[in-house]
Structure 1
């Protein structure tokens, strides 16, 4: 069954409303570009004052067109759009591109005009692209409604919040000289058709091998994530996200909540849904092009081959920076390479063939095949002079190089392992590299960009494997957990720490023992419970959110006297800093073993809904900001990616005498917190900070649960 936007994006009939004989007008250029690109459909100029434009008969209005119209290209001013869309609706037009600006992006009056236009369109079922867009391009029938000429056709599709960024990507594709565009449009204000609807169409489009996004924000982020998960299983989606969503930051009550609006949220949830998110705008096209050509990687193990040590060093560092592993080649593979190039200076990986390939370019073929057959390797990166042997060493070397290029492409498909070439000579566009790319192997001039393309293939392979897993099953809240939350809501407050701990335990989270005492008089009971082991003492109060800031925490208290003194210190501090606070008691718990301080939290993001965060914890979490995010719910695979995805993940392996962290324990706790947040819609934020990860497991030192404000 055809997609509901099929005839809008790939129209067979176009009415140009506001058609003109003036070459400076968009109504003229639109028809000219459609004709120049040999549009295979029919064009109907609409202008009541003309009878013919550019050899086409003109019509006074769209209702006078003698056949059904798929798409109206509206070239008139913003103020005319409600009336124009009314005419389109009565004539049965399926969609319209609104080129004009002056809508919600400009003023309050423009916002009202936009709402009026959308209301008219929805009354008749007319789908709107824009407004405030520069048009669209669809290669299938040559529908060039952008006004730009000489657009290369190919298998990449582009969706962008910005017309200028879209033009930049288009120029980059033209300069590169390979590949081309299947569908391209700037979404404008997304008054009607939203990002996820375009993506849904492109997911079913056989001509689109990969989709590129430049995104500043979503109008329906949950719907986009759902569509992205579905499409990413079929084809890669590369994204550059520019928007920073700061809404909700000032209102956050917890450490977790204070991280809301961080760019890392968009990165995390989009990657979770299958997108390959690039950090730099100039990586977007190279990565998308590579993903359209390369098979997804089975792992992250890369072999590097070059004829010199310098490029190998740069490549090795770039691979390490992007989480790619230089796995050791098997002994059998090393023996094969040594037989090919006895003079090679390194063969374990990286392979430094040195003079062995200079000028014997044909050795690359045998070396590449030996590496691709090695089960220890998931991808091959060639770096250095490859692509320029014909330039440097003459015609015979050039012919050999062309044959090797064709062979590399065949091997990539045969073994299902990506190959990427970094060539110092790429900007000269030598014939060998052109042949290599035409055969289906991407190349780049920049080392970091070439490595990023391989990292993207690895990321996409991981995403597809994760997305193929069944989604996490919802778990209902136990009755005792529901009772805890309902009691706090009736009292009109958030959970006390003792209640937060009880909630965690009700959901199966193992916690270290603790005691609640009313005051200094309870010190003896605390000693009876914990002996002379050092304990932490902290206030339990609905009115004190950040206990450390209020001086309401004392560490390493020993014995009954130590606990009594700690309570007295806290009481004195509260009297100075928070005299109005109501105190429900004092929580006493053994000091956690030495370990690594972590954070697990849940927060409400204005765009994506409930998200979970993990990272390095403690009182400086907002400063360190080494955290990863995922949308809820998450499963073990999501949790493991979160744990491994923070910048300083190596700290989990033991640092400054701390024992290695058991990552499986953290994964289990993350999944449990996800289940709790999903089982209780009333929860707005969860803050477990710090969690001390140590040799015996994870100790939740502080727990905070914030409830949604009562409606």
Structure 2
């Protein structure tokens, strides 16, 4: 009898099925009855550790914990049953720590008992090879047939602080707070657990998904988004399954709750083999990071910053702007943190004379009220100087955040801590939402003061660099509002079912249809045809070789510029034909000089259609100055792409050159995005260069690759049709 047959048989005979099956997220985060399958009465075994965690009085779980063991009837004073089918009344959550070979039968029991969700802690599945992968597939099939959702296998577990549930490898219960943490790494879950106790970080939920055979990052993100206990979402992602689905969910949730993500696995060995500029620059990692930021997510580079930033956003509101005020008892440290803040895109503005006049009376004559505010070394006056300055800065509309630097003596003085806490509390009582972050440079002797600040909801960051990093990431993360752009369907070009690179003639025709301005062109198959084409187009002429497999034509000697006579055209044709062995060339009238840009598109296997824009020409890959967005998007998003470029000043006019019409350029990029999103057959497009000058824009070279026709339907599901997303 198959696993599914067993489920059907048991369902028809069982009287023990729970009559009120609840949703998987409610069962995971607020279960009424939890069964530990693989429970043990032997200290040191995994089943014993989990049993202790589930029933620990300090955790405060108010539901019922049931042990499942094939022989014992009681474990740690809790009833034990031989299997799930024997448990009366049903179970909301099954936590499985049994050997992997036993789990198929356990999953039959879960499905027959209509358990809403199971956490499989055990390893020994796909991570071990083909045999483990087949075992994993069998378990998933059984679970789906019975409507059981799965976390894991091979995972750290789940914590739900408000429910007092510790179904994880972590010992003890973290403080309750507003951070929901999702991680694919069990080791990071353990590290975060330890760090949270040291830094007094509070969690609402912790979910470690392991192999994520069923419930994945998007499912959990959506659950966190709807969770009233969660104020901030933090995620460590090693991979993203359905990138487009994750993007759409994150873009909507980020409007309501801050999302902080660390994406690991960012190395790019594959870019060395890229066939085009778009493929070399729009790498998987670059697309992922761009998509996350486009959705309004705060992206960090390391696990410590992930926790630092999430904790700061849980304790204090995000920055509404980028203007930072600093109070310090060390002039040098004040300058150091000011430099670090400005290097990360924040501002440390000089305060107005009226605001300085309000602060100056509490400072020594040799102090400074300009910003950074230097209270000097008059330590007996620290409480008043820090307190009064902080109050004035919180109430001022000239700043978006305030950073008191508590260094050595000021960190040691409990009176200073008392004043900082009191002023922040008073500001909150007045309705202020201006964030206050402490830069902490204190010794172990001052640890009690640091912990009091954290308990009062005031972030304390060790040293100026860490402070500046978190503040920069707390600043506005970009627009996460859904865009109104909509894809327009584009018919597949006439090419074989195997797809491949299109001829330049067909590629130019397609992008012209997309609404991009292209330089007039002609195809010639002989010297005479080339000369005739040149006469029709008008001088000066550019001649380019047309040859299958020729990727970078200029590197191969396949491009001739500035041809001003028919004789020169004929000589160029002969030279290219002899050098490359081709008789077909493309001719264009040479465009006026201008800023060389690159526009590109590709269909990413995870995120679907992506558009690239940046500085182009022969140095495009060396410069790497491009911006990426998931398509489709509107003109405003395209303009944000241009603002992201390091060479943005070139578009504004440089060294006597006229400015480029950036609004028109943004419209052109947005138009390309809607066309790309509607062309599921498009694998890759590379328009380089696109010459921009005072006259407008013109595409002078393009390459386009089409997918095999069998891939079009699959691509269609990730095309990203745009439109408004309900909020």
Normalised TM-score (structure 2): 0.86
Give the match for residue 407 of structure 1.
Answer: 423
Cα distance in structure 2, aligned partners of 1:558 and 1:353? 72
1:416-495 mapped onto 2 (5 Å cutoff) = 416-425=433-442, 429-460=446-477, 462=478, 466-477=479-490, 482=491, 485-488=492-495, 494-495=501-502
Show the 5 A alignment for 1:295-374: 295-341=317-363, 343=365, 347-354=369-376, 359-374=381-396
Show the counterpart of 1:643: 642
- Using a 3 Å threshold, how does the CA distance of structure 1 residues 63 and 262 change in structure 2: closer, same or farther? closer
Structure 2 SS opposite 1:5: helix
Alignment of 1:212-231 (within 5 A): 212-231=234-253
Counterpart-to-counterpart distance in 1, 2:696 and 2:354: 41
Structure 1 residue 468: Cα displacement: 2.8
Residue 511 of structure 2 is matched in structure 1 by 504
Give the drift of 1:7.
0.8
Structure 1 stretch 365-374 or stretch 586-595: which is displaced more? 365-374
Equivalences, count: 685
Which secondary structure does the structure 2 equivalent of 1:222 belong to? Answer: helix
**Is the 2:597–2:689 contact (alpha carbons within 8 Å) kept by the matching residues of 1?**
yes
2:179 aligns with 156
Q: Which moved more, 1:670-679 or 1:424-433?
A: 424-433
**RMSD across aligned C-alpha pairs, in angstroms?**
3.1
Residue equivalent to 1:175: 198
C-alpha distance in 2 between matches for 1:136 and 1:157: 11
- The partner residue of 1:391 within 412, 416, 433 is 412
**CA shift in 2, pair 1:696/1:447, >3 Å:** farther
The answer on whether the counterparts of 1:245 and 1:262 sit within 8 Å (CA) in structure 2 is no
Provide the C-alpha distance between the structure 2 equivalents of 1:275 and 1:343, rounded to a whole number of angstroms: 45
Q: Matched residues in 1 for 2:277 and 2:657: separation?
A: 24
Q: Helix, strand or coil: the match of 1:415?
A: coil
Change (3 A) 1:299 1:555: farther
Give the alignment of 1:238-317 within 5 angstroms: 238-244=260-266, 253-317=275-339
- Looking at structure 2, the residues matched to 700 and 369 of structure 1 have their Cα atoms a distance apart, in angstroms, of 57
User: Could you tell me which residue of structure 2 aligns to residue 610 of structure 1?
Assistant: 609
Return the offset for 1:669.
2.8
Deviation at 1:390, TM superposition (A): 6.3
Please report the TM-score for the alignment, with normalisation by the length of structure 1: 0.88
2:212 pairs with 173, 190, 193, which one?
A: 190
Instruction: Give the alignment of 1:82-101 within 5 angstroms.
Output: 82-101=104-123
CA shift, 1:357, in A, is 7.7
| Residues 309 and 555 of structure 1, relative CA distance in 2, 3 Å threshold | farther
In 2: Cα distance, 1:312 partner to 1:699 partner: 50
Q: 1:9 to 1:384 in 2, by over 3 A?
A: closer
Distance (whole Å) between structure 2 residues aligned to residue 671 and residue 153 of structure 1: 46
- Once the 2 structures are TM-superposed, how far is the Cα of residue 289 of structure 1 from its aligned partner? 0.8
1:526-545 paired onto structure 2 within 5 Å: 526=534, 529-531=537-539, 534-541=540-547, 543-545=549-551
Pick closer, same or farther for the CA change 1:517–1:299 going to 2, 3 Å.
Answer: farther
Deviation at 1:223, TM superposition (A): 2.0
Q: Report if aligned partners of 2:179, 2:314 keep a CA contact under 8 Å in 1.
A: yes
Q: Following the alignment from structure 1 to structure 2, what is the Cα–Cα distance between the partners of residues 471 and 553?
A: 41
How far off its partner does 1:77 sit? 0.7
Query: Which shifted more, 621-630 or 190-199?
Result: 621-630
Q: In structure 2, do the counterparts of structure 1 residues 527 and 380 end up closer, same or farther at CA, with 3 Å as the change threshold? A: farther
Find the aligned partners of 2:498 and 2:223 in 1 and give their Cα distance.
49
State whether residues 375 and 382 of structure 2, in contact with CA within 8 Å, keep that contact through their aligned partners in structure 1: no
SS at match of 2:382: coil
| Shift of residue 83, structure 1, vs aligned partner | 0.6
Deviations 1:565-607 (A, max 9, x none): 33333222222xxx5xx62x32223244243x33221112222
Gapped regions of structure 1 (runs ≥ 5): 393-397
